[in-house]
Structure 1
Amino acid sequence: MNYSSEPVAEDHVDQAESAPSSDAAAAFAGDMGQLALETRRALVQLLLGPSVDGHRQSKLWLVLLRDEAILRSRLHDLFLDLVVDREQKVAFTRQVVADNIDAPVLLRRAALTFLESALVLFLRQRLTHADAQGERAVVSKTEVVEHLRVFERDKNVDHARFERQMENALEKAKKLSLLHKLRGGDERFEISPTLKLLFPAEEIQALAHSYTAIAQAGGQPSEGTLDAASTSASHEGLATSPGVDDGDEEVLE
């Protein structure tokens, strides 16, 4: 995996372009910012989250690579770290963890229900399979529904409620940018490569065993959800900025 949360070497950054400039033209009245306008846009998208996607936001991606050092510096001022995967062309922020300081927490967790966690696991497995075949990771709504339906309790009588729960799980994945709708009349989605960074293969294997056992036992656990501390909700990449809805983020280009 070719990703890093470490500062890039100086020879990989154009210092003349990435360094703050006191001569930069003001973007608005009273503007005291020192970053170029496009660099500010990249910083805002990182803060909005959940990620900068180089395949879908090519202009921002190039700015992020060019100005990675200064963006990392500005994020460190907010106790945030920058994770960049050049191979997958994706970048996101995560909360800095330091034992020697009591750092304020800027990002909030995107809590997932049991079905939402089951969907994330399914998508991660499909992504692994697609990579092994050298194919794009594409999934249809029908496939998602068929997979989630195995978690319906055997004696469930409120089928309409379960249908809503499945629909909500799909919407949550879309809002977190884990799924990107493909153009066309049918409901097909491409799975975001960000999931590779959030879920290592060994963690996926362990979680898959748990969900398989639950499905074989006849549906969801009695409480209907899993502890967020032990499932996908605990991962940095599913964290969102305060004051921003879990999925209605403005995507900048």
Structure 2
Amino acid sequence: MNADLQASSSAGREPDAAREGALYDGDHGTLTGPQRRALVQLIAGPFISQSKAPDLFAVVSANRETFAEHLDNLFLDLVVDDTAGVAFTKVWSEERGVDDRRALLRSWNLTFMDSVVLLHLRDAVMRTGLKERTVVSEEEVFEATSPFQGVIGTDKSSPAKKFTATWNKMNNFSIISKTATPGRFEVSPVLRVVFGTEEIAALTKAYERLLGTTDETEVSESCVEVTDAIGVDEEETDDDRA
């Protein structure tokens, strides 16, 4: 009797390898090979760039609902910006009221210098045309952010070391990438969309306040505004102290 039931339940069912998206006999997945590779890259992060991975980006852009469905199972949102040519994931916000959600993605605790450089790089991207590349040099960015160097922390002697640690971090997270021209770096267009308007406005206000005062109390209060705006971690890492 049991054998009859098993035979009946399997009748007419395609072998796993014959199902759409199956990569081997016994595969329970429902996505195609390219879709799976794109999903892995989305979760691994930090983002998929149309200019650097056009095939993966095309897969994500053409199958947004499918990816959104799978990412929802992981408490993640899908963000795709065809204009900027980037796709990435972010953890569900607290506003959704899901108290027991889990954070699958690794977090990046920003130092004060990290946030200053990020804001400058985003401003450079926003000043560039949508179809144009944003290219900067390490020296240019160091000089542009120099007014903020040394406004926080007790060690005033190593702004260059702190900046270098931040610059290396930007490179490791693909915020910047080397170009064919020595000393020149392309800034990722992901900075067009990764921060909200309110976050940028709060950051800019705090930085302007920092530049306009030398009072230690006001400097401290402004640094708190920065941490509230973007989640900056004022505790320096080992790299920052190097």
Cα distance, 1:30 vs structure 2: 5.7
Higher normalized helix content (fraction of residues): 2
Cα distance, 1:67 vs structure 2: 2.5
TM-score, normalisation: structure 2? 0.73
* SS of residue in 2 equivalent to 1:117: helix
Amino acid paired to 1:162: P
- What stretches of structure 2 of length at least 5 have no aligned partner? 1-15, 233-242
- Give, in whole Å, the separation in 2 of the partners of 1:140 and 1:174: 12
Q: Which moved more, 1:62-71 or 1:36-45?
A: 62-71
Please list, as runs of the form range in 1=range in 2, the aligned pairs for 1:217-228 lying within 5 A after superposition. Answer: 217=213, 221=219
Cα distance, 1:175 vs structure 2: 2.0
Task: Report whether the alignment pairs 1:90 with 2:86.
Answer: yes
Query: Which residue number in structure 2 is paired with residue 143 of structure 1?
Result: 140
Q: 1:177 to 1:227 in 2, by over 3 A?
A: farther
Query: Which residue number in structure 1 is paired with residue 112 of structure 2?
Result: 114
Match of 1:189 among 168, 185, 191: 185
Match of 1:163 among 129, 135, 160: 160
Task: Report whether the alignment pairs 1:213 with 2:223.
Answer: no
Cα distance, 1:31 vs structure 2: 4.0
Higher-Rg structure is 2
* SS of residue in 2 equivalent to 1:139: strand
* 1:29-54 CA-partner distances (Å, limit 9, x unpaired): 86432322111100000000111111
* SS of residue in 2 equivalent to 1:82: strand
Query: Which residue number in structure 2 is paired with residue 58 of structure 1?
Result: 54
Cα distance, 1:209 vs structure 2: 2.8
State whether residues 199 and 229 of structure 2, in contact with CA within 8 Å, keep that contact through their aligned partners in structure 1. no
TM-score, normalisation: structure 1? 0.70
Q: 1:40 to 1:181 in 2, by over 3 A?
A: same
Q: Which moved more, 1:72-81 or 1:218-227?
A: 218-227
* 1:175-215 CA-partner distances (Å, limit 9, x unpaired): 22221221222x21122121121224454243223213323
Query: Which residue number in structure 1 is paired with residue 30 of structure 2?
Result: 34
Amino acid paired to 1:106: L
* SS of residue in 1 equivalent to 2:89: strand
- Give, in whole Å, the separation in 2 of the partners of 1:191 and 1:115: 17
State whether residues 121 and 187 of structure 2, in contact with CA within 8 Å, keep that contact through their aligned partners in structure 1. yes
Q: 1:214 to 1:228 in 2, by over 3 A?
A: closer
* SS of residue in 1 equivalent to 2:158: helix
CA RMSD after TM alignment: 3.3
Query: Among the aligned pairs, what percent are the same residue?
Result: 32
- Give, in whole Å, the separation in 1 of the partners of 2:33 and 2:49: 19
Q: Which moved more, 1:116-125 or 1:102-111?
A: 102-111
- What stretches of structure 1 of length at least 5 have no aligned partner? 1-19, 235-253
Query: Which residue number in structure 1 is paired with residue 236 of structure 2?
Result: none
Q: Which moved more, 1:120-129 or 1:26-35?
A: 26-35
Q: 1:46 to 1:174 in 2, by over 3 A?
A: same
- Give, in whole Å, the separation in 2 of the partners of 1:25 and 1:46: 19
* 1:35-85 CA-partner distances (Å, limit 9, x unpaired): 221111000000001111111110101111233222211111111111111
State whether residues 209 and 222 of structure 2, in contact with CA within 8 Å, keep that contact through their aligned partners in structure 1. no
Query: Which residue number in structure 1 is paired with residue 123 of structure 2?
Result: 125
Amino acid paired to 1:172: K
Q: 1:67 to 1:160 in 2, by over 3 A?
A: same
